[in-house]
Structure 1
Amino acid sequence: MTTLTAREVEVLRLIAAGFTYEEIAEQLDIGIGGAKGTSSRMMMRLGALNAPHAVLLGVQAGILEGRAKKRPGPPRQPLTARQAQVLTAAEDGAPLSTVARRLNTTPQQVSARLSESYLRLGVTHLPRGQRRAAAVAEARRRGLIPNQQKDAA
């Protein structure tokens, strides 16, 4: 039987749940390089060609139980800190270029984080013009971004 370290098993379970390396690093409080390195060592020990193959081999070896499961709900945060930050900065419907200036980044990065947020919050089925508002509302409902507090002046 293939022997994996406890950390490698953790990484394998998170990969099986659909987490990205960035999310794995965040979950395990390690750097992205550490997550990738652990994953690489785990795949080498299993003889896996890629991450999905590692999951299959992990199930076959009895390291993972049954079929790989979908992403678990809690304790995983549905949005990364950056996704929540971008969604909050974009909640007023401002153009991507304006939001990018607010966050000192590029419009492409803002677009990518918003798209990821839409997927995670389950609003991708809506028309493009409605996704941002729906994502903001859903994130607020789940307590992932703060409620808008406008002072009546």
Structure 2
Amino acid sequence: MPARELEVLKLLANGFTYEEIAEQLSLGVGGAKGAASRMMMRLGALNAPHAVFLAVQQGILPGRAKRRPGPPRQPLTPRQALVLDTAADGASLAVVAARLGTTREQISSSLSGAYLRLGVHQHPRAERRAAAVAEARRRGLIPPAKQERAA
């Protein structure tokens, strides 16, 4: 397997997105996807997770324990930061969706991604949003609370 395809496979196995892979390997997103596609064809895989599974089975990649929760690889995307800041006051998903002119499902998806990136996805469901807001503010990823902004 060519070195570039093996690099892409290793990064996919570690949960990186094609955008993150492209940035790390100084490629375009199309280049990362192309290398992944060639690698999947070589392995006879149906998709990227299947390719990782087959690579572990064939000894190309070492098997390992599940990824431990830890610090995020990247800060929030601009959309995740906007959604989290808009939802910081505890409004329902429907209200946040109306504020941003989108759907409840898209808001839920953005918040879930933010929870993963901020490392709060293992908090009890009722505490995730507050924990994510606090962590994002602590890191300076979203503005301070409105009463703090005026000061």
TM-score, structure 1 normalization:
0.69
Identity, in percent, stands at 61
Retained in 2: the 8 A contact 1:86–1:113? yes
CA shift for structure 1 position 111 = 1.4
What corresponds to 1:67 in structure 2?
Answer: 63
> Which structure 2 residues correspond to residues 74-153 of structure 1 after superposition, within 5 A?
76-77=73-74, 79-120=76-117, 121-128=119-126, 130-148=127-145, 149-152=148-151
1:21-58 residue CA offsets vs partner (Å, 9 max, x unmatched) = xx322441434x65444322211122334433422443
Q: In the aligned structure 1, how far is the partner of 2:90 from the partner of 2:97?
A: 13
Segments of structure 1 that go 5 or more residues without pairing to the other structure are none
Q: How does 1:32-43 map to 2 (within 5 A)?
A: 35-43=32-40
Query: CA 1:34 to 1:106, structure 2 compared with 1: closer, same or farther past 3 Å?
Result: farther
Contact conserved, 1:55 with 1:68, CA < 8 A, in 2?
no
Name the CA distance, whole Å, in 1 between partners of 2:132 and 2:95.
19
- TM (normalized to structure 2)? 0.70
- The CA RMSD measured in Å over matched residues stands at 3.1
Aligned residue pair count? 143
In structure 2, the gaps of 5 or more residues are none
Deviation at 1:138, TM superposition (A): 2.0
1:110–1:18 distance in 2 versus 1, CA, 3 Å: same
SS at match of 2:150: coil
